[in-house]
Amino acid sequence: MQHVMVIGGGVVGLTTAWSLLEAGFEVSLVEREAELAQGASRANGGQLSYRYVSPLADSGVPLKALRWLFEPDSPLHFRPQWSLHQWMWLASFLSNCRGSVNRRTTQRLLALGAFSQTCFSDLYAHANLDGVSLRTPGKLVIYRTAGEFADVATRLRNDPKTIERVLSYQECLSVEPALARSPVQLAGGIFTVGEAVADCYALSLQLAERLRAHSHFKGFVHAQGQGFVITDGKAVALRTDQGDLSATAFVIAAGLQSRALALTAGVRLPIYPLKGYSLTAPIGPEHKPPVVSVTDIEKKVLYAQIGGELRVAAMADLVGEDTRIDPARMASLYRSVKATFPDAAGYEASKEWAGLRPATPSGAPILGATPVAGVWLNVGHGALGFTMSFGAARIVADLIAGRESPISMDGLSH
C-alpha cells in the first residue's frame, strides 16, 4: 500500500489526510507545532460559504483600496516592507483586479464550493462528526450604500439560475430580527439559503481523532518540514528537524509556509499572508445576536453564532508574516461591531485572535501535481480555506490515486 505524507495539520492538511485514507492510502501527517490547527484554522469566521465566494481581486478594488489607506477604520491596511515578495504579490494582485478575472475566479470557486458542500456532507456522515457546532442558518450579505446594492441586485435579478434572494431593508429585518436593534441604515441585502457555519477548530480536532482511530493512519509526527530529498526527479523523503521521513508521495498543505517548502522542490507559489482578526464573545440571556450568518460587505465584517458564542471576523492587512494583535486594529474592529450590533454579545469578555490567510493573487487555491514527481499541492486557500477544504482534499486524493479530478482543474492548478 502506498504511503502518502501530508505536511501541515490545519483544516486543509487534516481533511486531505482523511480523503487519502478514504481513497485507500496509508497516511501520516507532519505538523511542526506541538498542537494541531493553531494557524489560520484556529479561530476563523467559521462560515461554510459555498455560494458566496466573492474573490477580493475585482475591478473597483484598487480605487477603493486607495481610499481605505486613508481611513482609520478601513477593512484593509497596508504596511510597505522591504520585501520583493510583498511587492510582487501586490503587483500580481493588482493585475487580477479586473472584472473578467473576477468572474472567472468566481465561477471556479463556485464549482469548487458546490463540490465541497457535497464532500462536507459525506465527511460529516462517514467521520461521524458531532460537537462541531454545525448550523445551516443561511447567509445574509448586508449593503449600506444604495449604489452598490443596486448593482448587485440588478445582476442577480437578471440571472435566472440564481438562488440568492434580493431583499429590501424591511425584508432583511424579517430574515434577521437583530438588525432591528442596529442603528445602521441599510440599503438592502442578499440572502442565500443553505449556507452554513461551524467551528473550524473543533472540526479539525475531531477529525484528528478520527484519523488516529483509522487502521491505515500511521500517525502524527511533530516535526518541522524543511525541504524535500529528491532523487532522479522524484521526492523520496521530507527533510525535517527530526531527521528524514520517507514516503511514496507528499502533499504540501502547510498554509502560509507552503511557499518555503515548495521552493525546496523548485516550485514558486504566489502565496502572501492576508492578516485578519477575529473576536469571540459570549452570548448571555440579555443579548440579541444575529441568528443567520451576516456579512457586512462594505465593512468586510462577518458575524456568526458558533456554539453559544458570537464569532466576528474581519480585515485584510498586508503587513507580512506577523500574527501579533495590533491594538489599534482591534479597537477599530470593536468600534465597527458595537456600532452595528451593539447588544449582540458580551464584547468586553471577548477572546481576541489574529491569523494569516494564505492568499493567492486571484483568490483561487492551487491544487494537484507539481513538476517534481511525488510532490502534490493543496495550498493557497486564502479567505475560504474552511469552506473549500473538503472538496479540495477529495480532488487531491483522487489525483494522487490516478483518477480524473471530479471538477474542472482550469485555474486551480500550478
Nearer to ligand FAD, 59 or 121 (CB): 121
- Closest approach of ligand FAD to the CB of residue 167, in Å: 21
DSSP line for 78-100: E---S-HHHHHHHHHHHHT-SHH
Cβ-based nearer residue to ligand FAD, 152 or 329? 329
**Please, how many CA atoms are within 13 Å of residue 119, restricted to the half-sphere of its CB?**
28
Neighbour-count burial for 165-198, b at 16+ CB within 10 Å, e otherwise:
ebbeeeebbebbebbeebeeebbbbbbbeebbbb
Question: Minimal distance in Å, beta carbon 332 to ligand FAD?
Answer: 14
281 touches 43 (CB < 8 A): no
**Residue type (1 letter), 29:** L
Supply the minimum distance, in Å, between the C-beta of residue 239 and ligand FAD. 10
From the CB of 269, what's the least distance to ligand FAD, in Å?
12
Closest CA to 298 of 190, 120, 145, 121: 145
Least distance to ligand FAD, CB of residue 360, Å: 11
Helix (H) or strand (E) holding 69: helix 61-69
Q: Which is closer to ligand FAD, CB of 255 or CB of 290?
A: 255
Shortest distance, position 252 Cβ to ligand FAD, whole Å: 9
Is the CB of 54 or the CB of 92 nearer to ligand FAD? 54
DSSP 345: S
Looking at the Cβ atoms of 267 and 302, the one nearer to ligand FAD is 302
Cell 469571540 locates to: 280
Q: Which is nearer to ligand FAD, 23 or 301 (CB)?
A: 301
Distance between CA atoms of 118 and 140, rounded to whole angstroms? 22
Q: Which residues bind ligand FAD (CB under 6 A)?
A: 7-13, 30-33, 38-41, 44-47, 49, 224-225, 253-255, 257, 261, 276-278, 302, 313, 355, 357-358, 381-387
